[in-house]
Structure 1
């Protein structure tokens, strides 16, 4: 390996081979961190605008102090850090199905690891977010049935491009209804997607939630074709 590329870790998992890479950006001179599952890129620190927007757009819809928030999907930690930047957040539970990703943060292999693991409001827990959403017990084994002011999810590429077939159930009316039961009254569900706004998903969200809006987040992809977009859905519970 040269000085411009380093593989920091490489692990076989039930979902495939997971690898963490760091490479030098020749334009900026800074380091870029990337996580791959087999040959597919899961995330990159080069593009974080929409992950940050997921937290900011979701929490912008919430008044009050000492908010309890859950993030489904830890990744590189940019959504979690953006949640913690809100002074009104009292607790953050981050659920990830990959022990390796949580370990990378605790070991300091990722640039946001020390910041997240040292914040007393933040807990990183290993678990199946989708199983928690479908159950009455919910996401936190230490507090069964706990409710949240915001549930923010960034796991699948999109509701129609999921990492595992079992995830698809969440994006149905039944799955969304089960998830909404874990929210406080007027709580917020936020969802990141790599695809353009999906009319079918929007219809399902409006069946379950009092309000729903799809936000298009644009950013420069650093290539000749320029700007690309992701979607952040923000739905508010009416119960």
Structure 2
């Protein structure tokens, strides 16, 4: 493997974030820990598709067409912009309505708006359905003025291994209660993780979600990634 080249390094309120290029790919390092790269992306894309499938199974197919005045289709919230695979994949699917992305790191937003990661997300960022909010996910959920049909959350490395301690709040009973409150009845919750967690499955059930299951996604190298899926009660 080629040696990484640092393209940008920032100190923020949650620690250090670094964008590096390694060969043809980019990678994000947070507080000295590898977070994600652009070498694969199948699990980030599957996060979005699995949420749509879970939502459709719970509520039906929904509207069949769009209008020029506003997007018609399920409203999606993506927690964590990352390298942009989930946003790009959602925006490529005309079945989604509004697509809101919440990202707390200004550096990551900048890398997508006017940096190397725009090659992945540029078309999606320009999509009229898309909006990027520079804020913390839990802060946004507490203040959200409306509910979403699906939450696709890719925050840190999952419930059992977080790079920054404050990200752990998402996976607590209080954090899951905020997710439930932000979803419409029958809405889908999809949470990316680097490894399965039976304990987290039980936490989702304890939070009142139904249809809890875990889907493994094979990746190019290493152990499979997983997506935890659940449905908000009607």
If the TM-score is normalised by the length of the shorter chain, which range does it land in? Answer: 0.7 to 0.9
Give distance in 1, aligned partners of 2:27 and 2:211. Answer: 35
In the alignment, is residue 45 of structure 1 matched against residue 45 of structure 2?
no
Q: Distance in 1 between matches of 2:185 and 2:3?
A: 50
Q: CA deviation at 1:23?
A: 2.4
Aligned to 2:179, the other structure's residue is in SS state helix
How many angstroms does 1:77 deviate by? Answer: 0.5
- SS for the counterpart of 1:175 is helix
Structure 1 residue aligned with 2:224: 229
Deviations 1:81-106 (A, max 9, x none): 12122211111000001011111111
Q: Does 1:70 align with 2:77?
A: yes
Off by >3 Å, runs of 4+ in structure 1: 3-6
State the superposition RMSD in angstroms: 1.8
Matched, 1:57 2:56: no
- With normalisation by structure 1, the TM-score equals 0.84
Whichever structure has more strand as a proportion of its residues is 1
Question: After the TM superposition, which of the residue ranges 163-172 and 145-154 deviates more from structure 2?
Answer: 163-172
What corresponds to 2:182 in structure 1? 182
**1:126-176 deviation digits (Å, cap 9, x = unpaired):** 00102233x2x22xxxxxx21100011001211121233233232233321
Counterpart of 2:89 in structure 1 is: 82
Count the aligned residue pairs.
217
Structure 2 counterparts to residues 30-41 of structure 1, below 5 A = 31-41=24-34
Aligned to 1:220: 220
Normalized per residue, which structure has more helix?
2
Distance 1:7 1:166 in 2: 26
**Map of 1:161 onto structure 2:** 161
Please state how far the C-alpha of 1:188 moved relative to its aligned partner. Answer: 0.5
Contact conserved, 2:157 with 2:194, CA < 8 A, in 1?
yes
Unaligned ranges ≥5, structure 1: 25-30, 139-144, 222-226
CA deviation profile, 1:65-87 (whole Å, cap 9, x unmatched)? 31110000001100111212221
| Shift in alpha-carbon separation, 1:131–1:76, aligned structure 2, 3 A | same
* 1:23-64, Cα deviation, whole Å (9 max, x unpaired): 22xxxxxx1011112421111101311111111111112231
TM-score when scaled to structure 2? 0.86
State the SS of the aligned residue for 2:128.
coil
User: Residue 11 in 1 paired to residue 18 in 2?
Assistant: no
- Alignment check: 8 A CA contact 1:130 1:167 kept: no
Query: Which of 1 and 2 has higher RCO (CA within 8 Å, sep 6+)?
Result: 2
- How far, CA to CA, are the matches of 2:128 and 2:160 in structure 1? 36
Say whether residues 1:117 and 2:115 are aligned partners.
Answer: no
